[in-house]
Amino acid sequence: MADEKKFAGYVCSGCGLGERLDAGQLETTATRDGKMQSCKQHEMLCSAEGVQMIKDDIANDGVTHVMIAACSRRAKVEAFNFTDVALTRANLREGVIWVRPDTDENKETTQEMADDYIRMACAELKSMAKPSASGEQSLNKNILVVGGGITGMTAAIEAAAAGYPVHLVEKSGTLGGAVGSYYKVIPTRSPYDAPAENPIPALREAIEADGNITVHLNSTLTKTDGAPGRFSVDIATESGTTETVSIGAIIQASGWKPYDANQLPEFAYGKSQDVVTNHELEALAVAASGGPIKRPSDGKEVKSVCFIQNAGQCSDKDGHLTYFAGVTDLVSIKQAMYFKELNGECDTTILFDNLRTPGAGGEDFYRAGQNAMVTFSKGIASEVVPGDSLTVKFEDKILNEQTEMACDLVVLATGMEPNSGPDPYAQLMVDEAEDEEEKAKAQAILENAPPSILNLQYRQGTDLPHLKNGFTDSHFICFPYETRRTGIYSAGPVRRPMDIQQARDDATGAALKAIQAAENASLGRAAHPRSGDLSFPSFRKEGCTQCKRCTVECPFGAINEDEEGYPMYNESRCRRCGTCMGACPVRVISFENYSVETVNQQIKNVEIPEEWDEKPRILVLACENDAYPALDQAAQAGVEINPWARVIPVRCLGSVSLSWVTDALNNGYDGIVMMGCRRDDDYQCHFVRGSAMAAERMSKVGDTLDTLNLEPERVILHEVAITDVERAPQLINDMAETVEKIGLSPFKF
């Protein structure tokens, strides 16, 4: 019984489908052409009654495969959520009747469309299986936190508080990181009016008292093998011992390093001991041990200090950081207040361009600084002249003059650089550089790559990919924890420059994502964005040519290679995008419910009318995240779509097999439109390079078209956004016009 497949079709006649279409014919199409063993009609399939009918059939009649011909797969999802069967949806509402005019002359083509979508859905269903987890998983609740600064400490405490054991690995001999050596910190609680106590000692105590946290000091990771739910991590101590621990998920909180101020000779850094960075000032404040802060050169009590904001940052000068550290204006206010607290009558001036102290706390703290008589001047410093008394030359932007001031100490508000590992795509950046300048930059990054932090044993490099400037941030605004290495989350200033409060919030969020990854890995569920997906790629070894395209092109580094060069899939690293499937030239990679075959069968089961019918066929492959929803919305808005179009949603254009295109052309389709996401630096593809990869692959379609002696205009690839409600249908209609212009394909049999 368990192995027996039973295919059942259900045709809805609600929402006007019954009036616009011949339901009887649809039923016949499903059973005769689609080979459904049964097919039922219902006047409102999504109603409780309709859903119950399907449920009953599954329970009582052993239905294993369900074809629902009704509305879009994006509609009534909750109603048609049958998790025990393989399921497909024929989109007759948004896909057919809502995009076609309700007139007699269109009746025939509208019906043809609907019949085709039913054939396609049935064909797809025939080559599908219900996805299910492999069953090999088990729950590994251990969380590894790399980095024992404030972010890592917070992440460890938070994960442990949720009941997850933590291994906290710190390179140095103490916990606390950069913040550990600070005199005080920016306040994190209202009324934000004075520097706050350093939270590190309390966190150290909490960790010490937490039985769920194992601290590894003086330790680094020498090897990280496996995948979420089954990482095997070698933690080596300085003294040479190595411990192997089994880990469910990883948080990388490797922090930041201060910018090297030696690149700022104009501010006399290195020339005068009394020019220090904001980072170095903390040490001076701590050394003062409650007394006045003294200047390094001669130990004289500081009576006047000037802070130069954005020193070596927010600047495109060579060696400067182009970005802003986010926090350095607040830091300077905090430090200016140190002087007010410790040095009595000390003059403090902050030279800034835009004072960036955002949010409630930021603005409150700015006012507190002013209230403490810190002088804020919109001024751009150009030079610091060393001497017994330092001279700061600057332009006062308000008083509109070049001026200068004398002070005992100059503090440079320099930026933060991430402590990330080498970018796995550094080589790729060199290879793909568009010009020499870019290439040289990429080459420099490759050559100056820092030592690895995670030592991942991944085919695609040892560490997390960089987003920009070496930070390992997510590319997505809505999804800050969307990582390109499943189950590994970066947190804190390695991800993006941030202040302590944000780092701690971030650590807490990353801790959630880590425990979530561990839990989902144990169930075989995919991580975001196809959260919960149980389908999983497998490959036919006998067909594989060891070309390695799948292992190279997987955006998530999910696939390793064995010694012979065969791919080794790691279910819990995989995000189910199908890029590997699209990459495979020999078509051996497939998911249970999404494969070369499931799409190919849809393409083949569209009825291609004879040439003299003058009814072309246009194949549309639409990304399910953006283009497909755009088409749905167009339907809702009543935008017409040409009746020759047949739309197939794909997980990502990256999953599109070239064979679909060639087969479609060979089968007599007259045009092919592919719609994927934006693919430039601000790409929208959640599978990173899917759309770009498709564009690259399809550039080779030209050869195919040449061989077939077909016009190149017949195949086109567009970037389509979810908001392209008017444009997406237009692109399809444009292809229809093109076909009309150049004529039908000769490949109709």
Best CA proximity match to 737, nearest among 632, 641, 666: 641
- Closest contact distance (angstroms) between CB of 549 and another protein is 27
Pick 360 or 568: Cβ nearer another protein: 360
> CB burial class (10 A; 0-12, 13-18, 19+) of residue 709?
exposed
- Residue 456 · residue 483 · CB < 8 Å: no
Instruction: Kindly report the backbone phi and psi dihedral angles of residue 642, in degrees, each rounded to the nearest multiple of 5, phi listed first.
Output: -55, 135
**Nearest approach, Cβ of residue 406 and another protein (Å):** 5
Task: Give me the sign of the Cα torsion angle 201, 206, 210, 216.
Answer: negative
Handedness of CA 692, 728, 584, 533 (dihedral sign): positive
Of 13 and 224, nearer to another protein (C-beta) is 13
Shortest distance in whole angstroms from residue 350 CB to another protein: 10
CA–CA gap between residue 565 and residue 57 (Å, rounded):
46
Q: How far is the CB of 17 from another protein (least distance, A)?
A: 10
Distance of CA 18 to the CA centre of its chain: 42
Whichever of 296 and 509 has its CB closer to another protein, that residue is 509
Closer residue to another protein in complex, CB, 75/227 = 75
DSSP string, 333-354: HHHHHHHHHHSSS-EEEEEESS
Whose Cβ is closer to another protein: residue 143's or residue 619's? 143
Judge contact between 86 and 125, C-beta under 8 A.
Answer: yes
Q: Between 658-666 and 701-708, two packed helices, what is the crossing angle to 10 degrees?
A: 20
Nearer to another protein among residue 519 and residue 571 (C-beta): 519
Closest CA to 625 of 648, 599, 642, 649: 649
Least distance in angstroms from the C-beta of 525 to another protein: 8
- Contacting residues for 722 by C-beta, under 8 A, at least 6 apart: 625, 626, 627, 629, 630, 633
In terms of CB distance, is 586 or 721 closer to another protein? 721
Pick the closer one to another protein by CB: 42 or 748: 42
Residue whose pair of structure tokens reads 């006998």 in the numeric block: 542
Instruction: Decide whether 437 or 614 has the Cβ nearer to another protein.
Output: 437
Q: How many CB atoms lie within 10 A of CB 319?
A: 11
d(CA 694, CA 717): 9
* Shortest distance, position 524 Cβ to another protein, whole Å: 14
Total number of residues shown for the chain = 749
Contacts of 546 (CB under 8 A, 6+ apart): 564, 565, 566
> How would you label 403-439 residue by residue, b for 16+ Cβ within 10 Å and e otherwise?
eebebbbbbbbbbbbbbbbbbbbbbbbbeeeeeeeee
Q: Token digits for 293?
A: 């802060």
Please name every residue paired with 221 in a beta bridge, in sequence order, or none if there are none: 235
How many Å apart are CA 604 and CA 664, to the nearest integer? 7
Q: How far is the CB of 81 from another protein (least distance, A)?
A: 7
- State which residue, 5 or 397, has the beta carbon closest to another protein: 397
- DSSP letter for 595, please: B
To another protein, the closest distance from the beta carbon of 682 in angstroms equals: 4
Shortest Cβ distance from residue 301 to another protein (Å)? 16
Q: Please, are residues 720 and 678 in contact by the beta-carbon 8 Å criterion?
A: no
- Nearest distance from C-beta of residue 381 to another protein, angstroms: 12
| Residue 35 Cβ vs another protein, minimum distance, rounded to whole Å | 29
**Minimum CB distance to another protein smaller for 286 or for 721:** 721
β-strands 390-396, 560-561: how paired? unpaired
Does residue 174 contact residue 167 with C-beta atoms inside 8 Å?
no
CB 299 within 8 A of CB 290: no
Q: Based on CB atoms, which residue is closest to another protein, 216 or 504?
A: 504
| Minimum CB distance to another protein smaller for 191 or for 743 | 191
Give dist(CA 208, CA 212) in Å, integer: 10
- State the minimum distance, in angstroms, from the CB of residue 521 to another protein: 12
- Shortest Cβ 82–another protein spacing (Å): 12
